[in-house]
A and B are shown apart, each in its own frame.
Chain A
Amino acid sequence: MFIINCPYCGERDQSEFTAGGEAHIERPKQPTELSDDEWAEFLFMRKNIKGVQFERWNHAHGCRKWFNVVRDTTNDKIHAVYKMGEKPSID
């Protein structure tokens, strides 16, 4: 049970949030132009990293805002939190 620093509300318990998988996978602007393989790459392929991972989280039981979290999946340490459309402060 970790604590997430919602960029809109501040520190809250993990139970207020829902996870939304890998971050920075942009929906293609022109899906019809894509081959099956290219579309499948967007649709299905996720990295599922053991270590530092960029993720989407939603403050579902709070402000309902989506934002990004940089989390180490091995120990749940959160290295950065930033709003949608922003760049992370670390690589």
Chain B
Amino acid sequence: MPNYRVKKTDYVDQTNRISFKFDGKTYFGFKGDTLASALLSNGIHLVGRSFKYHRPRGIMTCGSEEPNAICQINPGTDLTEPNVRATEIELYEGLEASSQNCWPNVNFDIGGINNFISPFIPAGFYYKTFMWPKSFWKNIYEPLIRKSAGLGKSPTLPDPDLYDHKHIHCDILVIGGGISGIIAAKIAAKSGSNTILIDDKNTLGGSTIFQNNENFKINDEISKDWLFKEIEELKKLKNLTIKTRTSVAAYHSYNYLLAKENLTDHLSKNNKTSNIRQRLWKIRSNKVIIASGAIERPLVFNNNDRPGIILASSVNKYLNFYGVICGENNFVFTNNDSAYETALSLFEKGIQIKIIDIRKKTNSKIVKRVEKLGIDIYWNSTVTNTFGYRKLNSIEIMNLSEDGSNVIGKKIKAKCDCLAVSGGWTPMVHMHTQSGGKLNFRESDQVFLPKELDSEHISVGSCNGDFELDDIIKNTNEKVKSLLNLKETEFEKTYVSCTKELDKRNIWLLPNKITLGKTKSFIDFQNDSTAKDIKLALREGFRSIEHVKRYTTTGMATDQGKLSNMHALGIISETAGVKMGTLGTTTFRPPFTPLTFGAIVGRNVGQFFDITRRTSIHEWHIKNNAKFENVGQWKRPWYYPKENENMHQAVQRESKAARDSAGILDASTLGKIDIQGSDASEFLNRVYTNAWSKLAIGKCRYGLMLNEDGMVYDDGVTTRLGDNHFLMTTTTGGAANVLSKLEDYLQTEWPELDVFLTSVTDQYSTVSICGPNSKKILIKLFPSVNFNDDDFTHMSFKNSTINNINCRIMRISFTGELSYEINIEAKYGKSLWEKCIEAGKDFNITPYGTETMHLLRAEKGFIIVGQDTDGTMTPIDLQMDWIVSKKKYDFIGKRSLYRSDTIREDRKQLVGLLTEDPKEILEEGAQIVSNISKKPVEMLGHVTSSYFSPNLNKSIALAVVRNGKKMKGQKLLVPMENKNINVIVSDSIFLDKENKRLNA
């Protein structure tokens, strides 16, 4: 097996050999390697297939911008992880990874056929092709697209790892541990600021830490040696926290940032020291210093995507940091000086290297040195084609015309297995723009730079457009000094000697003899969009960068266009004749690199996903086989099946028992608001539609609350406990909103009212007993209370005690039956419930859940706010005119009740529906029509509640129907998938219209 490891470095421990598997084969690397560097050291370039054309792709970068080398970790297991960048995976013993997006394997991939039919799959192919015939969508197109869509495979088992969230505050946060970040962090920490330095790599130092070149010296030391000492000093500073393997994902307003720290991803199974895999830091920093660096640009030319075509700076890092060469016949293809460092490094190791420069000539220090060493430079030239299917083997070079718009002269073909490309540098302005910062465009080297307007954060180093070593140190020092209001720092007299770039030439799309349509000049490598696609989009009329991006999918892959966005902009600018600075950029959205779902949710999984509220009687419900329903955050018993009963059977039994003898319901979840103050009754007058001033102490009243727009908002019974003291009940789901709405009115509209509101929902348990035998049970429980109908009337309450515990007994009814509710301090709820069950044994007292409660109230035509209403129903629509006071001057929503829209007679109104076949049960939500033959069919309304009533022995339903009030007795249709159900509009009260049962 060939070995491409040619050099010892400080960062890879070549005494510590590690075995790993890639695509099922075992290879070896060393501690300190990434999966990418280890693969390259074994001569493996081909690591995946491209998304659309399934072209062979190799490792292209050495960092988070990697578009090609995205891998599946632990392939074939239930806990596999997709789309992980090989350039970011630190090698550990036993690592298993595989390539993605290929079948049967990366060397022979059936999908590769797409490459040959590519003329037929241009930009917008999906939008254009799958439109017709329409009937093909569901059975042919969709399954086909789903099968070929996506990159990796999702895990099939729940994530076994733990993830943490942690808050942290600091004075200064420095993002990026390259040379400028290190200088900034050192100045900040030494000036006394509590500082955090974050870097996504496992070591600090950025690209300077392997800059081993006589051309770059700081204080007469090679730059890497100088920086190494700085880092050693930095680590000793007390008020500095250094977080490596941590990447900032998002930068929100007010310097609130999210950063993900990898804790165990780089460790082998047996060495995982923490059971927490990743930690999401929630950082609030007084000031932020962004030192996120720059990313090298590729060049856009024909077949620029073959394995072996790598960014020049990455070739340099693989050699000087990992000790690995990417090929034996190397070419550097560049438009700037930075790639000459790569050439020098390779030359010094005695590796074959030549240079192709699109510039006409330049005389900078480093270029002169390269020429002096005798390295061949092809000036004013470009690569016009590349060859080699699974790995680059040769390239074709031509001269550029004077203006760079064409190629001239003879083609030169050269042997080449590694082409190190450099199209200049793109400052990473993601953090700056995420925080709300704007950008300026610098023409000279075509870069967007942070425009700093406030003092919340600054950008330093190459992310601020400083690319020369002396500028970086000088400007970083100046900017940090001014941010911290310092007079002097230790970097004041730092002496830098470095080469300076003199000439620039930028051509976004390099010319070719072949027409563009026949080339494959990739811009976005991960999403396979080419220069041709961008031009096509422009020809088809797209102009905005945001539209071109979405049409061609440029920059929409998991790398978010880190390598591609600038080229797309450049080509649009050149083609459309619009200056780049005025085109603007697409939006930089968080996260900077993909986050795991685990890191996002942290510990909020399983039972901690959402708050669950349980009543104090909950345990009893569980013991008695209750099935639960979620109501807001509450768990409420839904029904209590016996033995083999299904839900329908249980509900029928429970409903019958409640009407025939006695039923018992846990009503503790209803919202309870304690209202006190000398203006309490006036307050109720203003918030409810009916009158409250004359309600006597000891009496209860049902109230309907509207929104200011006149629509029903909530309902419930309120009891007058004293002169200035009321207890309001609300719906279970609406409790919190009602309280906050009432507070709003009290604090902002009626501050003159003397009223205090307190939520007491959790303080009291409520047990509701209904049915003709309920009174007998209550008498057994409270022998001292007079339950005589004349003394204890419907809608009144009494205080009493049970075993010396205070409780309130209210005679109110939501079922239409004789019914009592007992409120008791919550901690006694369960024992009260058990006492009631015991006392009710002789009367077959039957616990019932929400489903039976809904059925019983529907028989009586009582509404449920939120089920029979939906924010568009007035009390008049609900046929509840009786509850709307005509005498009161004002209440919330009153004026809206006679707006031109609310007084329309043909509004949807609440009615009852009876099916022609009494056994037929309508589906809730089903549409109601009158004439099905006239197309389009006019919708009149929908079913809001529907049940089979065991007490009436027929199906009943509530519905909202346009102009329903006037339709009583009329026949309508409920069309279902395979039949039309005939229904008759009826009164909404189905049972005991005379309310006789209340006093049974």
Contacts and interface: CB of A to CB of B under 8 A. Distances in A.
Interface of A: 1-3, 18, 20, 26-28, 30-32, 34, 36, 39-40, 43, 56, 58, 60, 64-66, 75-76, 84-85
Interface string B729-756: 0000000000010011001110100000
Given A36-B900, A43-B709, A84 B253 contact: no
Given A43-B896, A60-B740, A76-B253, A66 B890 contact: no
A31 B888 CA distance: 12
Contact of A32 (B254, B743, B890): B890
Contacts of B894: 31-32
A31 to B, nearest CB: 4
B484 to A, nearest CB: 22
Contact of A34 (B254, B740, B895): B895
A2 B748 contact: no
Contacts of B269: none
Nearest to B282: A1
A39 B747 contact: no
B436 interface: yes
B656 to A, nearest CB: 44
Contacts of A26: 749
Given A66-B743, A66-B744, A39 B254 contact: no
20 contacts: A2-B254, A3-B254, A20-B744, A31-B890, A31-B894, A31-B895, A32-B889, A32-B894, A34-B895, A36-B899, A43-B708, A56-B748, A58-B740, A64-B743, A66-B744, A75-B253, A75-B436, A76-B436, A84-B748, A84-B751
A66 B748 contact: yes
B252 interface: yes
Contacts of A34: 895
B435 to A, nearest CB: 9
B256 interface: yes
A76 B749 CA distance: 27
Nearest to B707: A43
A31 B743 CA distance: 21
B749 A27 contact: yes
Contacts of A28: 895
Nearest to B257: A1
Contacts of A43: 708-709, 896
A27 B890 CA distance: 12
A64 B890 CA distance: 26
Contacts of A18: 740
Given A56-B748, A58-B740, A66-B744, A1 B252 contact: yes
A30 B284 CA distance: 48
Contacts, number: 54
**Interface residue range, chain B:** 20 to 34
Contacts of B747: 65-66, 84
Contacts of B889: 32
A2 to B, nearest CB: 4
A26 B751 CA distance: 12
Contacts of B252: 1
Contacts of B284: 3
Nearest to A20: B744
Given A1-B253, A32-B890, A60-B740, A39 B896 contact: yes
A39 B740 contact: no
A60 B895 CA distance: 29
Contacts of A64: 740, 743
Nearest to A66: B747
Interface in B202-260: 252-254, 256
A56 B709 CA distance: 19
B618 to A, nearest CB: 25
A1 B434 CA distance: 12
Nearest to B749: A27
B899 A39 contact: yes
Contact of A1 (B256, B744, B890, B896): B256
Nearest to B710: A43
A40 B254 contact: no
Contacts of A27: 708, 749
Interface in B325-344: none
A54 B506 CA distance: 48
Interface string B893-905: 0111001100000
Given A1-B256, A2-B253, 6 more contacts: A1-B252, A2-B254, A18-B740, A32-B889, A39-B895, A43-B896
A30 to B, nearest CB: 8
Contacts of A56: 748
Given A32-B890, A36-B900, A39-B899, A58 B744 contact: yes
Interface string B862-900: 000000000000000000000000000110001110011
B934 to A, nearest CB: 34
Interface string B700-718: 0000000011000000000
A18 B739 CA distance: 14
A30 B889 CA distance: 9
A28 B252 CA distance: 39
Contacts of A36: 899-900
B899 A85 contact: no
Contacts of B748: 56, 66, 84
A56 B744 CA distance: 10
